[in-house]
Amino acid sequence: MRGPLLLQRILWLALTAATVLVGVAAFVMPPAEAHSFPDALPVAFAAASTLLVAGSFLLPQAAFAAAVRRHATLVTEEHPPSYREGPGRARVVRVDADTFRALSRAWVGPLMISMALSESVEVLGLLLSRFGFAPRMFGAFVAAGAMLTLIRFPTKVELLSRTGRVMRAAVVDLGSG
pTM of the model: 0.79
Report the C-alpha gap between 9 and 32 in whole angstroms: 35
Report the C-alpha gap between 6 and 153 in whole angstroms: 11
- Most confident residue range from 19-33, 42-56, 132-146: 42-56
Average pLDDT, the chain: 83
Give the end-to-end CA distance of the chain in Å, rounded to a whole number: 8
Encode pLDDT of 119-142 as tens digits.
999 999 998 888 888 888 889 999
**Letter for the amino acid at 3?**
G
Report the C-alpha gap between 45 and 138 in whole angstroms: 10
Dihedral pair phi/psi, residue 125, rounded to 5°: -65, -40
Bridge partners, 75 (sequence order) = 93
Per-residue pLDDT for 1 more than 50?
no
Which residues, at least 6 apart from 102, have a Cβ–Cβ distance to it below 8 Å? Answer: 71
The whole-number pLDDT of residue 134 equals 84
Encode pLDDT of 60-93 as tens digits.
999 999 888 776 666 666 655 554 555 556 777 7
Which residues, at least 6 apart from 94, have a Cβ–Cβ distance to it below 8 Å? Answer: 74, 76, 172, 174
> Which of these ranges, 84-88, 110-114, 144-148, 155-159, has the smallest mean pLDDT?
84-88
H-run or E-run covering 57: helix 41-69
The whole-number pLDDT of residue 32 equals 67
**Nearest one of 156, 131, 135 to 35, comparing CA atoms:** 131
For β-strands 75-78 and 90-95, DSSP reports them as antiparallel
Which has more confidence, 144 or 39? 144
Report the C-alpha gap between 78 and 20 in whole angstroms: 48
The whole-number pLDDT of residue 27 equals 84
Average pLDDT over residues 90-99: 79
Per-residue pLDDT for 177 more than 70?
no
